[in-house]
Structure 1
Amino acid sequence: MSIRDWPVAERPREKLLAQGAATLTDAELLAIFLRTGVAGKSAVDLARHLLRDFGGLRQLLEADLISFSQHLGLGPAKYTQLQAVLEMGRRHLAERIKRDSALESPQAVRDYLKACLRHEPHEVFGCLFLDSKHRVIEFEPLFRGSIDGASVYPRQVVKRALAQNAAAVILVHNHPSGVAEPSQADRVLTARLKESLALVEVRVLDHFIIGDGDPLSMAEFGWL
């Protein structure tokens, strides 16, 4: 049965307009993006099929072009559209955190950093540089490593903080495993960076670890 034959309240687009995007399932959201189905499958049927094939929405969103294009109903055109949507989302989050103090919008900061790093297949360490009023200056990924870890050099972090004229920083790195649990090495590194940045009067406000769920704040656990 075509989606056009469904009751109006059950059609994904109409449901979104009436109830909001948050009320839709992953399959319904994906169906709106796909727009059309294929022979014998509505857009929602195709979306459910794709989610099963990929193992979930996150895996689909993080797929590279080759693996993405190997699936029914997908190809380079859809891949470029999806990448554009994801980048617009990241830029929207970046604009949100640049309007106010990072300390006044903690969830927006978490959402932005997660959008920047969760999809990375290897460990990435970066800094969110802040001015004296804790407004965002810039986010910079600084070090990339293997899936087991990244080599982070305090001297380079200090150099970038001075170049950005930062008064404070929020440190961040991802755990590709999805488990946002700090290792002993993470805690030692945080202490080293805090000590090094203090020498140039730059405060470390937090160190976020990005995994599958909400980013873990080392400051909230008293590890700063």
Structure 2
Amino acid sequence: MTKKFAAALVGLACLATPAAAAAEEGKVQIKLLGTAVLPDGKITEYRTDIVPLPANTQTEANDNVIPTVAIEYFFTDNFSVETICCVTQHDVDAVSGLPGAELVSDARVIPATFTAKYHLPVGGVKPYVGAGVTYFLWINDEPGAATIPLGVTDTDFSNEFGVVLQAGLDIPVGDSGFGISFDAKKYFVDTTSRWYAGDTLAIETVHKLDPWVLSAGVAYRF
């Protein structure tokens, strides 16, 4: 009986060891990432156009690569929430109607983003999926070089809420909390663009941004 009891204790200890190790993982994870921001920028609606623009005018926002910081808090090993910090800059050019014309210059946006994530450990890696909300806060937008000769003196992008879907993979490196991370987000958000000539609203259009945001970098959980 004593031998059976001891064997049972050893078995329970072996089963408990992984759970105890998992429980010792930190609650906070910080990631330093290189991020490619790949927006659309397509015009989906003309509301005002006193110029007028050519009928087939269409636009596109340029891609950008930026550094990103992500901060994540784990409520459990499987559930966490995450926010990111970055500023990305884009120009908007015409791709038809006025091909090559720069319509907006140095538009800078803070894509304030919060996602809830579900993690599923698979062997030594940890894939995850997530979803959340975003708020695109524009902190700078200047008239493009092609619009200034037309009398445009100011450009304005509207701040907007949107939704975001997320998927990725965390790969621990050793048992010290360090790791490698890969992440993909798809945003669904629009903005209204306005070009002014003095106090006169000359052009107002709605643009579908809907960027892909692809990241890779290092992580530390503590």
**TM range, normalised to the smaller chain?**
under 0.3
More helix by share: 1
Q: Indicate the structure whose relative CO is greater, using CA pairs within 8 Å and at least 6 residues apart.
A: 2
Structure with higher Rg: it is 2
User: What is the TM-score with the length of structure 2 in the denominator?
Assistant: 0.27
More strand by share: 2
